[in-house]
Each structure stands twice: as structure tokens, then as C-alpha cells.
Amino acid sequence: MSDKPKLRIGLIGTGFMGKTHVFGFATAAKVFDLPFEVELHTVADVTESAARKAAEAWGFAHATTDWRQMVADPAIDLVDITAPNALHKDVALAAIRAGKHVYCEKPLAPLAADAQEMALAAEAAGVRTQVGFNYLCNPMLHLAREMIAAGELGEIRAYRGVHAEDYMADASGPFTFRHDPAGGGALADIGSHALATAEFLLGPITRVMGDCVTMIGSRTGSDGQPRPVEVDDIGRAFLRFANGASGSIEANWIATGRKMQHDFEVYGSKGALVFSQERFNELHFYSTADAAGRRGFRRIEAAPDHAPYGAFCVAPGHQLGFNDLKAIEVAGYLAAIAGRQAEPFGFRAGWRIQTLIETIQTSARSGGWQDVP
């Protein structure tokens, strides 16, 4: 029997991301020496059948349809939010008032003002928080940041990032919560990942100029009637970084044929890096130090040299997967709860991303450059 303190999890939401978070906790407990013994205590959903089905399938001891009751339960130590975006603020603030640590899938909140309120409340209460940006947990992204910081690319001159998928490409698809004017749109939904990656690699973005475009102007609502779409299908922004570099990002959820194009390119005076999430165990590096006639992008494959890859597999080239990145995220968050490290991507970081999104949206409406607060 473990002598580690228990950390009892209360999960809200039984969809894809709820399942992904459960995989994250389960895998992290097997792969890493966590500071806690994780216990899946209660899962909540709108219907009793969904909650009970998830509890049985995922190993939770209890199921409920009342998230408020779960949040108030003194047995729960950590509230994990994978519910629809509109619920994030109410659930998180209730959990914070109850003294719980809070793990919230992105976006933290539909509006930056709400994200700010959540971040400040968590800091005042002294609870630890995490926003789900697990792409940042990829060892290849950490390697890229190390190479940039070490000067292997020289002076950073330019950045290009894109997050493109096609899950909204079908014009006959329904109007969903992702089309809600408060916090919806491609820029908020997937551009948030592109912005988080850009700042993870190069540091603060200081100025933006945005362009947000709606290509499918109407979708069918739940009542069978057409509803106007006011949010962007494609969001783009030119960027200026504090380090002097310039760049751009694009968010596109109608990119026919693209399933997970979370890509970036970084160009410096001495070299360049290219990465694609569709092959996220690889990083491509170009160096001007190579001899003439021998220059070209070389492939660096993920391996035990790139921590924490070695905790999953002793052999290079055997690949990490999406759920492994969530396990790495969980391990870092639990280390922060135990006081071993800072929050990897807490509510203040989530607030920052919402601020960037709203600044780009403001720029798109005004048609000019905007300083980032």
C-alpha cells in the first residue's frame, strides 16, 4: 500500500477531453513517480446515465449529475473541468471558493475578463491551477526552445505558426457552442494553441494586427432553423515579439484535409527549425555551419535524450502519442501542487492567451496594429 498522500479527483464532463484527462492521470501514475496516489473519486455529467457509464468505464467510485455537490464535497481535492466552455468560470470559481485545486481544459474562459477573475481568485486562495495546453509538453518543443535560447539559430528574425483542422469544413454542419459569439471562433478555439506555442518558443508578443474571416455565414441550430454565424472560420495575425522578431499565426477550422496541422517555423541568422504536429516526434533543423554542398534540414527524432521521453520508452524513434503529452502535463501539474515546481501553465497563463485573442480580434475590427496589454 502506498504511503503517498491521496489526491482525490472530481471530473466534470464525460466527452472526448474528459476521457483524455482520465488517460492522463492513469498513464502518469504508471510512468512517473508522482507525489500523490491519484484516486478517481467522482465524475459528473448532465445525465445520470452518462455519468454512471463514465464512472464504470473509467474507474470512478461515484457518479453524479450535480457538479455543485461534487465541488462542495470535502473528500475532493482537485476539480477537473472538461465541461463546455460557458461553464468553466462558474465551476472554477466555486471550486476555488471550496479550496480545491483546479485543472481546466482550454479555453480557460470565453472572455479575458472572466479569465482574469479566475486567475486572481486562484492566486488569492493559494490553490494550484492548470490549463490544458498539452501540446507544450512535447519534448520536441522543449528541445526547440532550448536550441533557440542557446543561440543555435543565431538572432531570431521570423516566426510562422499555424493551427489548421477541418472539423468545421462541412457547411451543412450544425451550429455548436464553438460558434457562440462570446468566446467562439477558430482563433479562440485553435488559434489559442498557435499563440501559446509562439510565446513558449520566442517569449512575449507585444503587438498584433489581426484579420478574422467568416466563410460559412449560417448554420442549422438545434431547433432546425438557420442561425447566423458571427465568429471567424479563419483568424490570422501578424506578430511583433519583445525580442525583436516578427511573425504570423493562422487559425483555420475549415482547412479541408487537415486533421492536426499545429506547425511552426523559426528562422534565425544561423539556422532554422521546422515542426509539424502531424509528425510530432520529429524536429527539423537547418544550420548554416554545415559545409557548402551538405546543407539541408536534418531530422531530429524524439529519443530518451529528450526528457521525459525515456520514462515512456528506452528506444528512440518509437514515438510518443497525444495522450502521453496529457500524462506529462498531469505529472507537471501534480508536481506543482506538491510544491516541487511552479505551475506549468496555470490560470494566469490562460488569462494571457485570452488577452492575446481579444487583442487580435480588436485589431481585426479596427484594421490596425494593437499593443498587447
- Number of Cα atoms under 13 Å in the Cβ half of residue 39: 13
- Order of strands across the sheet with 129-132? 62-64, 37-44, 6-12, 78-81, 101-105, 129-132
Does residue 148 register a pLDDT over 70? yes
Does residue 329 register a pLDDT over 80? yes
Which percentage of the chain shows pLDDT scores above 70?
100
What phi and psi values does residue 144 have, to the nearest 5 degrees? Answer: -60, -45
Report the amino acid identity of residue 144. Answer: A
pLDDT tens profile 38-69? 999 999 999 999 999 999 999 999 999 999 99
Does residue 370 register a pLDDT over 80? yes
Per-residue confidence at 81, pLDDT binned at 50, 70, 90? very high
pLDDT tens profile 341-350? 999 999 999 9
Per-residue confidence at 29, pLDDT binned at 50, 70, 90? very high
Per-residue confidence at 1, pLDDT binned at 50, 70, 90? low
pLDDT tens profile 189-232? 999 999 999 999 999 999 999 999 999 999 999 999 999 999 99
pTM over 0.85: yes
Please state, in angstroms and rounded to a whole number, the distance separating the CA atoms of residues 159 and 121: 34
What is residue 2's predicted lDDT score, i.e. its pLDDT? 77
